[in-house]
Amino acid sequence: MQDGRTTLSKFLIDTLDRKPGPEAASGLSALLIDVAASIKTIAAALTRGALGGQHGSAQSVNTHGEEQKKLDLVTNDIFLQHCEWDGLLAGMVSEEMDGVYAIPDAYPRGEYLLAFDPLDGSSNIDINGVVGSIFSVLKRAPDESHAADEASFLRPGREQVAAGYAIYGPSTMLVLSVGNGTHGFTLERDVGNFVLTHSDIRIPEDSCEFAINASNERFWEPPVRRYVQECKDGRTGCRAQDFNMRWIASMVAEVHRILMRGGVFMYPRDFKTPAMEGRLRLLYEANPMSFIVEQAGGLSITGRERILDMKARALHQRVPVILGSRNEVARIHRYHGEYDRGEDKPFTSPLFNERSLFLPETPA
Ligand code: F6P
């Protein structure tokens, strides 16, 4: 007998298995249930906090040269253990592993590819702040029969068949999309079920809130500096309204806020480390978050191009990310175009900020 609530399993069976379509009976719902099991296990581990004995450095660095925390490795293993056995995956990629993780010979292989960041924003662990996990699911190309390798994963993000994230805050939520909108489930801890609480999330098209690490301002490109300056000018500037700024240092937390009430998140291209194209990783951060955001009516770009159209060149490729409320992201895209075409003279003029003199009203 139904209690009127929709659990994750019911949602997935109704959405994927009982609807005609490419993922019907393909096992995608079972794979996502295993991903959800990883998330529940991670939530339980995080809730124990310092009592779990897993805080602090693992005394190792990952493939990006970043210090790994014990929890980075523990949460990575949790994903591997929950997802490697089910016969649905051909391989896995994660922020914490150099190459493609091959499914052990003891288990059957499947046709899906899982890329994940097991613990996003892990610098927040030490301060008991919000962290998350991010995941992306691709299907192997139909003509691919060899063991999954790097090339198997190097596909445009628009080909994802599912993507999502978990946010470990006061409550744990799983937000996901299988291509029919973005939906949020809240973990009912005492029962262990994810329950649908946020159906078909829509990001407001306009917003007066932006998120960026402002300590990098001197390294930003002019179009980003222009946008942020205009926001900071508030009601006395060309935007004629006050803006609010937030920075949680966890992409999951920023994206979640944007899904709940709108806004823009930017980790743009900058010249702090010229060799790096951006800060965030394409396969397991930018692509899944872009999929989630677009499925909720928002936009996600590098500044110049749609992230979901990029073809990845490497497993751990980094990209600039600007995502969120449609009209704000479109405006930032336009600013990049105007800059590239040399059409944004008002911004570079010393009279920039003199709204009445130089800046036309610029509806997105
Ligand atoms: O690794 C990614 C990440 O932790 C994001 O989740 C977050 O948005 C960003 O890095 C934080 O960067 P910064 O250290 O510049 O605040």
Q: Looking at ligand 1, which atom is closest to the CA of residue 123?
A: 4
Q: Would you give the distance in Å from CA 55 to the centre of its chain?
A: 24
Of 200, 234, 227, the residue nearest 211 (C-alpha): 227
Residue 104 pLDDT: 94
The residue contributing the CA closest to ligand 1 atom 13 is 249
Residues sharing a CB contact under 8 Å with residue 36, sequence separation 6 or more, in sequence order: 8, 174, 194
Contact 242, 235 (CB under 8 A): yes
Q: Looking at ligand 1, which atom is closest to the CA of residue 216?
A: 15
Domain borders along the chain are: 8-198, 209-349
Q: Is 86 annotated as a binding residue?
A: no
**Residues 5-23: tens digit of each pLDDT:** 999 999 999 999 887 776 6
Q: Which amino acid is at 198?
A: H
- Distance CA(258)–CA(153), nearest Å, equals 28
Q: Are both 8-198 and 209-349 of the same fold?
A: no
* Residue 350 DSSP symbol: T
Inter-helix orientation angle 28-47/70-83, to 10°? 150
Out of 63-77, 129-143, 350-364, least confident range:
350-364
CA distance readout (Å), 297 to 107, 181, 205, 282, 303: 39, 9, 8, 20, 18
pLDDT band, residue 24 (cuts 50/70/90) = low
- Distance CA(307)–CA(299), nearest Å, equals 9
Backbone angles phi, psi at 144, to 5 degrees: -95, 120
Q: Which CATH architecture has domain 8-198?
A: 2-Layer Sandwich (3.30)
3-state class (DSSP) for residue 163: strand
Query: Is 121 close to ligand 1, i.e. is its CB under 6 Å away?
Result: yes
Record the tokens describing residue 225, joined without a space: 């500096």
Question: For 18, left (φ over 0), alpha (ψ -120 to 50), or beta?
Answer: alpha
The residue contributing the CA closest to ligand 1 atom 4 is 121
**Residues 298-323: tens digit of each pLDDT:** 999 999 999 999 999 999 999 999 99
DSSP state string for 78-98? HHHHHHSSSS-EEEEEETT-S
Q: Is 285 annotated as a binding residue?
A: yes
Q: Whole-prediction pTM value?
A: 0.92
Candidate CATH numbers 3.40.190.80, 2.40.100.10, 3.50.50.60, 3.40.50.20; the one for domain 209-349: 3.40.190.80
Query: Is 213 close to ligand 1, i.e. is its CB under 6 Å away?
Result: yes
User: HSE on the CB side for 70, CA within 13 Å?
Assistant: 11
pLDDT value at 359 more than 70: no
Q: Is 123 annotated as a binding residue?
A: yes
Q: Looking at ligand 1, which atom is closest to the CA of residue 252?
A: 6
